Amino acid sequence: MTRVPEGQMFSDPGSDAAVMAAWERFLDGESRPSDSLRTLVDRSWQRCQQHNVDPDKRSAPPPVDESMLASMKEHHGELLQASAPIMACARDFLAETGTVMALADTSCTILTMEGDNPTIGTAESIHLLPGVSWSERICGTNAIGTALAVGEPVQIHSAEHYCAGIKRWTCSATVIRHPHDGEIIGVVDVSGLSETYNRQSLALVVTTASRIENKIAMREMERRYHLLEASLQRWTNGTDGLVLFDRRGYPVRANEIAQAAMTSLGADLDLSAPRRVTALAVGDNGELVRTPALPVWLQPDWLEPVYGAQGQRLGTLLVLPLPRLGRAISGEGARRLARESAVAANDMPSGFTGIITRDPALREAVRKADQLARSKVPVLLLGETGVGKEEFAQGLHKASPFRDGPYVALNCGGLSRELLASELFGYVDGAFTGARRGGMVGKIEAANGGTLFLDEIGEMPLDLQPHLLRVLEQSEIYRLGENVPRKVSFRLIAATHRDLRKEVADGRFRMDFFYRVAVTSIRIPPLRDRVGDVRELARYFVERFSKQHELGPRQLDDELLARLESYSWPGNVRELRNVVESVLLMSDGECVGIDALPPELLGMADPPVSAPVATALGALATKVPVGSIAESEAELIRRAIAATHGNLTRAARELDIAKSTLYQKVKLYGLEHDIGRVRAG
């Protein structure tokens, strides 16, 4: 007899007699595999023998009692709920076929059965019914148990069963996997008496498992949307590191503060390939499973439950309180956090060398961008108009795995819906009146293998957003007027000056689209909050435009530089660049003075002392001995730092001054030690 090919998936009813003979020889101790035996079956028989399964067994054990079965069904409620409509269909389409469909859990215990009623009655003779475990260790080789043992689709026919009492049956089964991580969560099986054998039963169970997995994926996505929505308000807190975990213990979102903090704690946080924290899985009772125990880096008081509108627990929020985190991190972890937080003054990561800054906040944004560049997840750049989002996008591309691919940019603002759709998706020849002959490649398709940068994504029309969402989810694109999808692979970088959370709340931006494009985000601080950057950038632009316009050596005098530093720059770096270029072109001498400023900017000056600061200074003067104004101002700033626990953004807000001004005052009065002491305490 010709040997069965390695990996043969289907049973061969014509080999029944030869397989039966091989089984008898196997029980007699023959070690050489039979040529008529599939490798899958041979290995299963060997496992059964190692587990001392009785080959003369006539049936599976009796079912568990009804209360135990009810408890098991409750435990697997999600699987049963997802499979309910599919199993209901089986009740009809398997009628009069002589077959039944069974759904089992990961212990191979059947939870529910549907199908041909006479066959269900016959199946009771071998205890093929709900509440019975059909694992290989108990029932020998069978489709349910063997499918779970190998994690693949399995067809077991007649003599291939290990136990004598089951050899009248033929069955096909495959495992059901959770769509997010591939974890096996159940088994689906189709069984009947031997004469009902059909190769297509294996295709049926594979298709059924896929349909159940799709149902679970849809429910999981819906549950995640509810989880993100329920925790939306917490993300406005800028002082704590936040990581959101779903019901199964997977991180689904993290803010920028948490990224560095978790790395320093020795935890792995990669949202592009998230790792499960099993101890954060939520059980059926709404409590954390905590099996195994929490990781050593995670403190229980950092965890907050997240509940849905109906009171059900949706997940867990990990809150890393930075004012206390310094005490939680010690030794090498603390030193690592310090190293990661401090970027050398003259060292900018490769890909971001075009960003000119001395500001710690912007350097931290660059550090985070460089870290995220290595992943493939979408990045959302947040910041006012003109802060340099395009430079960040190009830096992310240059430092990413897509660096050798194209970089394609598109501004979503200022285009009609129709024009934006054609720019994004392209179109085929004759798609509409006026379409270019031969069609047009859209920006998404043009970015295949590279990076797509969508600026002002907040301007994208609401009805276009689900189409782009589908591209991101399916990695497929349809040109306008085309019915055949095209595969695409690209890295998305989006940017906006809008508050997209508010846009979502107001119904102007889709929540599902927001959470897909904002997997990670980087906030770019405005120029007015960046200490020393106005002077640094002004000098850079002077050198750049002097060469570009062949003006010869040029420099800005101190009075002009001081005037530039006193301005709030609502247009940010772009406005500063235009002003510097203008004053250079409007001057003749080597040293450019304040008279070269455009008329509309000649009124730029230091803002007056605000009323809150004046009031605070007055109150302070009554509490401290009379001294210099500088001493009083230093004491006022020191108190604001203490009151805000070293949060300079809040301190500047309390003092009603720009954060850049506060940084300058801190340096002037040598208050860095006070900040460190308050934060450490």
Give per-residue pLDDT as tens, 241-283: 888 999 888 888 887 777 667 766 767 777 666 788 888 888 7
| Averaged pLDDT, 98-104 | 96
Backbone angles phi, psi at 647, to 5 degrees: -85, 105
| Averaged pLDDT, 518-542 | 88
According to DSSP H, which parts of 192-345 are helical?
Answer: 200-230, 256-264, 322-328, 332-341
CATH 3.40.50.300 fits 360-523, yes or no: yes
What is the dihedral sign for C-alpha 4, 10, 11, 12? Answer: negative
Res 238: pLDDT: 57
| Rounded Cα–Cα distance for residues 146 and 422 (Å) | 51
| Averaged pLDDT, 566-575 | 86
Res 125: pLDDT: 94
Q: Write out pLDDT tens, residues 631-649.
A: 667 778 888 888 777 777 7
Residues recorded for the chain: 681
Of the pLDDT bands very low, low, confident and very high (cuts 50, 70, 90), residue 615 is very low
Of the pLDDT bands very low, low, confident and very high (cuts 50, 70, 90), residue 32 is confident
411, two tokens: 């501004």
| Rounded Cα–Cα distance for residues 190 and 179 (Å) | 22
Question: Is 70 exceeded by the pLDDT of residue 59?
Answer: yes
> Is 13-219's fold the same as 527-601's?
no
Res 609: pLDDT: 38
More confident residue, 99 or 349: 99
- DSSP structure class, residue 33: P
Question: Is 70 exceeded by the pLDDT of residue 342?
Answer: no
CATH, domain range 13-219: 3.30.450.40
Res 253: pLDDT: 85
Q: Write out pLDDT tens, residues 426-464.
A: 888 766 655 566 678 889 999 999 999 999 999 899 989
Of the pLDDT bands very low, low, confident and very high (cuts 50, 70, 90), residue 495 is very high
Q: What pTM does this model have?
A: 0.51
The full DSSP string for 362-431 is: HHHHHHHHHHHHTS-S-EEEE--TTSSHHHHHHHHHHTSTTTTS-EEEEE-TT--HHHHHHHHHEE-TTS
Of the pLDDT bands very low, low, confident and very high (cuts 50, 70, 90), residue 621 is very low
Q: How far is CA 388 from CA 381, 497, 595, in A?
A: 10, 11, 28
| Rounded Cα–Cα distance for residues 129 and 110 (Å) | 6
| Rounded Cα–Cα distance for residues 280 and 294 (Å) | 8
Res 623: pLDDT: 39
Domain ranges of the chain: 13-219, 235-290+300-320, 360-523, 527-601, 629-680
For residues 423 and 442, is the Cβ–Cβ distance under 8 A?
Answer: yes
335, two tokens: 């030193």
According to DSSP H, which parts of 549-571 are helical?
Answer: 558-566
Of the pLDDT bands very low, low, confident and very high (cuts 50, 70, 90), residue 106 is very high
Q: Write out pLDDT tens, residues 133-172.
A: 999 999 999 999 999 999 999 999 999 999 999 999 999 9
463, two tokens: 């009805």
Res 207: pLDDT: 92
Res 552: pLDDT: 85
To the nearest whole percent, how much of the chain has pLDDT over 70? 84
| Averaged pLDDT, 626-630 | 46
Pick from 107-121, 308-322, 665-679 the range whose average pLDDT is largest: 107-121
Q: What is the CA radius of gyration of the chain?
A: 34
Q: How far is CA 399 from the centre of its chain?
A: 20
State the chain's mean pLDDT as an integer.
82
| Averaged pLDDT, 665-675 | 74
Q: Write out pLDDT tens, residues 461-487.
A: 998 999 999 999 889 998 888 888 899
CATH class of 527-601: mainly alpha
Write the burial class of residue 534 (CB in 10 Å: 0-12 exposed, 13-18 middle, 19+ buried). buried
Question: Is 60 exceeded by the pLDDT of residue 29?
Answer: yes
Question: Is 70 exceeded by the pLDDT of residue 613?
Answer: no
Res 612: pLDDT: 42
For residues 205 and 190, is the Cβ–Cβ distance under 8 A?
Answer: yes
Q: Write out pLDDT tens, residues 355-389.
A: 888 888 888 889 889 888 888 889 999 998 888 89
For residues 648 and 662, is the Cβ–Cβ distance under 8 A?
Answer: yes
| Rounded Cα–Cα distance for residues 659 and 668 (Å) | 14
Q: How far is CA 24 from CA 28, 40, 160, 660, in A?
A: 6, 17, 11, 86
Task: Kindly report the number of other CB atoms within 10 A of residue 310's CB atom.
Answer: 7
Of the pLDDT bands very low, low, confident and very high (cuts 50, 70, 90), residue 237 is low
